[in-house]
């Protein structure tokens, strides 16, 4: 990411700034960055080329904002974590490219409990009022709707849709290609490929619509995942028995094995969360070949 300090910028046409904003001269801006009125940019901020801050955006602390992002009014990036154990150690926020953060989104920097970084990948859409707490790790191509709150240390894998008004508690992992319904209370990990809903939430079905929107998943793959869902969540067969049944039918695809591995890790954790700090991790009892769990992207 090519960035340039405001001090001594030779070509004023590289960026579009307004005198109504307060930009620390030590901040680093790429080519063609646009900063609208009433924005505040701190000294440890780096903004990649083509990124647009519409108005009233506050970026503080150590924040790296990638290229061609659109940041809406009243967005706050890099504020201190809302963690009572935080002692002021320097931590950071890292955001990728081509993201859209709509009005009043908040993203807090990391705490001292992990590597101190809150991360958001690329090509994500965070709608009005969404909150990303300290130490969250978000992948790519995620949609988070209005007023949804992610607690600290939440991981959201790529290609996830989370509807409006959802509350996701600390340490939850939201598996890739899943869908979380509106107003849900998410206290346990969301299995990959599944649709969950409710207060508290539970698995309702396979996220068939989301899978069909993705060209990676053929109809045969969707049907094998549908059968895995039926065995696990309807027939209550358990992991080992589900694997044996699907292997006998020739339906033990890479996607099914990835789902089985995800659920096994979830069950090994505490309170249905694989990464819960109180988790008593144990060796997986279901044999899942490592090469059978690729990321389609």
Annotated catalytic residue 152: yes
Catalytic residue among 56, 134, 155, 258: 134
Catalytic residue among 61, 72, 152, 269: 152
3-state secondary structure the chain: CCCEECCCCCCHHHEECCCCCEECCCCEECCCEEECCCCEECCCEEECCCCEECCCCEECCEEEECCCCEECCCCEEEECCCCCCCCCCCCEEEECCCCEECCCCEEECCCCCCCCEEEECCCCEECCCCEECCCCEECCCCEECCCCEECCCCEECCCCEECCCCEECCCCEECCCCEECCCCEECCCECCCEEEEECCEEEEEECHHHHHHCCCCCHHHHHHHHHHHHHHHHCCCCHHHHHHHHHHCCCCCHHHHHHHHHHHHHHHCECCECCCCCCCCCCCCCCCCHHHCCCCC
Catalytic residue among 135, 159, 189, 197: 135
Annotated catalytic residue 135: yes
| β-pair type (137-138, 155-156) | parallel
Laid out side by side, the sheet with 137-138 consists of: 4-5, 28-29, 45-47, 62-65, 92-95, 117-120, 137-138, 155-156, 173-174
Annotated catalytic residue 165: no
Provide the annotated active-site residues. Answer: 134-135, 152
């Amino acid at each position: 990411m090519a960035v340039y300090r405001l001090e001594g910028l030779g070509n004023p046409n590289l960026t579009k700034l307004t005198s109504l904003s307060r930009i620390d001269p030590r901040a680093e801006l790429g080519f063609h960055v646009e900063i609208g009125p009433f924005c505040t940019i701190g000294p440890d901020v780096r903004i990649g080329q083509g990124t647009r801050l519409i108005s009233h955006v506050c970026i503080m602390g150590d924040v790296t904002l990638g290229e061609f992002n659109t940041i809406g009014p009243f967005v706050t990036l890099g504020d201190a974590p809302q963690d009572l154990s935080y002692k002021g150690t320097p931590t950071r926020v890292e955001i990728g490219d081509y993201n859209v953060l709509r009005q009043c989104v908040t993203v807090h920097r990391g705490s001292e409990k992990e590597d101190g970084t809150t991360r958001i990948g690329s090509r994500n859409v965070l709608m009005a009022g969404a909150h990303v707490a300290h130490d969250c790790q978000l992948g790519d191509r995620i949609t988070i709707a209005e007023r949804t709150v992610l607690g600290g240390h939440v991981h959201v894998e790529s290609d996830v849709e989370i509807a409006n008004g959802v509350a996701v508690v600390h340490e939850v992992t939201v598996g890739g290609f899943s869908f979380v319904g509106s107003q849900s209370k998410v206290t346990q990990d969301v299995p990959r490929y599944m649709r969950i809903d409710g207060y508290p939430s539970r698995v309702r079905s396979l996220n068939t619509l989301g899978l069909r929107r993705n060209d990676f998943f053929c109809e045969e793959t969707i049907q094998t995942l549908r059968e895995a869902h039926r065995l696990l969540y309807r027939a209550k067969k358990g992991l080992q028995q589900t694997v044996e049944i699907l292997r006998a039918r020739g339906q033990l695809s890479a996607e099914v094995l990835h789902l089985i591995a995800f659920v096994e890790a979830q069950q090994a954790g505490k309170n249905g969360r694989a990464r819960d700090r109180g988790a008593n991790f144990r060796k997986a009892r279901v044999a899942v070949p490592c090469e059978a769990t690729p990321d389609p992207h």
